[in-house]
Amino acid sequence: MTAGLTYVVTGGCGFLGSHIVDMLVERGKNISEIRVVDTKLRSYKSPERKGVNVKRIRGDVTDMAQMTEVCAGADVVIHTASLIDIIGLVSYTTLWDVNVKGTETLLQCCLNEDVPCFVYTSSRAAVGPNSRGDPVEDGDESTPYDSSCPLLPYGRTKAAAEAMVLQRNGRRTNGGKTLHTCALRPGGIYGGAGWSLIKMCQEFGMDIFSARPQKGISHPSVKDSPPYVGNVAWAHLLAAQTLVTSPQTAGGEAFHVADDTPVQNSATLYGVLCAPIGIRWDDSLALPLWLMYFIAYLLAFLSFLSKPFYTFVPRLTPALLTLANTTFYFNYKKATRLLGYKPLFTWEESKQKTWDGLVEWKARDFS
């Protein structure tokens, strides 16, 4: 492996991106510089390692001039920057511009600036669920699935960007190198202080610190197995290293990223993870599912009627209900076989780290 590699991590101040940066500093091989690119430069203390320079850069992945400068002289780009939206707060045009056109911009910069390795953070949503809510249990990358009717606009953008990334694998750069690309598909990532689950609950108006258990919108029979953020970051590091050392192994491939988090109903998982900060979850539905669908369709109709006069975005949508009530999870056997991936953190370690982060977050923001 070439010594003194330069990495670019887009979205590097975000939830997953910051964990990837920390993982590269702590465990990366032969890295001299990490360029952390984000539209908002969040202040947090990264671990330090002699010989590794972490440089934070304010930048927008849709800006060709900025990304050309960022990619100049780089060896690996890990592209995590993305807009995530599951209820329609962001217009489809904006989602497409950032998630698809932004990815296209970065790929072109890699070809122009002779960057040979590109790791894309895709999503399980790039595969499904589809609008019918067809389930997948313990699936893999070869599991047949009808993705022709995607459930979410977000999923459509991630699928389009992922396809573009994999199609660029093997392209010749301007300087005569070969661009090697791969995509990772995590889903429902948890862990870390200020965990996005809590923020989502607050967006839905839940009084998360009340004495009453929180009721959800997912039927108790629906199962999932989301990965811990540290394991997803570890998979990115291994994917990048594999593209550098053995590009024919991972180039042009997509990988589901999971870990050994128990397969269970989401309310059960959230109940375990949120227990140390006093948030209780009830695995029963807030309302009968048929009634929630009725309300969701009614809200969607009202949103349509009000569109000429007022932008009304319901927090409960039919697509969100279908997403929450579809068993849809995959294994990581292909990532193990081709990337050498095994979860770096056990379930017990992932749980403890999530507890520690949430306790710290509550003490800081709610004391």
Q: What is the pLDDT of residue 360?
A: 82
Q: Is the pLDDT of residue 123 over 60?
A: yes
Catalytic residue, chosen from 154, 329, 332, 341, is: 154
Q: Is the pLDDT of residue 53 over 60?
A: yes
Q: What is the pLDDT of residue 193?
A: 57
Q: Is the pLDDT of residue 236 over 80?
A: yes
Q: Which residues contact 352 (CB under 8 A, 6 or more apart)?
A: none
Q: What is the pLDDT of residue 48?
A: 73
CATH of the domain at 61: 3.40.50.720
User: 366 lies in a domain?
Assistant: no
Q: Is the pLDDT of residue 202 over 50?
A: no
Residue 154 annotated in active site: yes
User: 282 lies in a domain?
Assistant: no
Round to whole Å and give the CA distance between 155 and 130: 9
Q: Is the pLDDT of residue 271 over 90?
A: no
pLDDT tens by residue, 273-307? 888 888 777 778 888 999 999 999 999 999 989 88
Q: Which residues contact 40 (CB under 8 A, 6 or more apart)?
A: 13, 58
> Per-residue pLDDT averaged across 250-274, rounded?
92
Which of the residue ranges 331-335, 342-346, 357-361 would you say has the lowest mean pLDDT? 357-361
User: 66 lies in a domain?
Assistant: yes
Q: Is the pLDDT of residue 338 over 90?
A: yes
Q: Do the beta carbons of residue 234 and residue 342 sit within 8 Å?
A: no
User: 65 lies in a domain?
Assistant: yes
**Taking all residues of the chain, what is their mean pLDDT, rounded to a whole number?**
90
What is the extent of the structural domain holding 336? 5-191+227-260+328-350
Q: What is the pLDDT of residue 93?
A: 95
Q: Is the pLDDT of residue 188 over 60?
A: yes
User: 284 lies in a domain?
Assistant: no
> Per-residue pLDDT averaged across 4-24, rounded?
94
- Intra-chain end-to-end CA distance of the chain, in Å: 48
Instruction: Kindly state the tokens that stand for 34.
Output: 């990490």
| Pairing status of strand 253-256 against strand 214-216 | unpaired
Q: What is the per-residue burial (b if ≥16 Cβ within 10 Å, else e) of 131-158? A: eebbbbeebeeeeeeeeeebbbbbbbbb
User: 199 lies in a domain?
Assistant: no
Q: What is the pLDDT of residue 162?
A: 98
Residue 75, CB-side half-sphere exposure with 13 Å CA sphere: 20
Tell whether pTM > 0.95.
Answer: no
Instruction: Kindly state the tokens that stand for 72.
Output: 């100049």
Structural domain tally of the chain? 1
User: 87 lies in a domain?
Assistant: yes
Which of 334, 357, 358, 354 has its CA nearest to residue 345?
A: 354
User: 315 lies in a domain?
Assistant: no
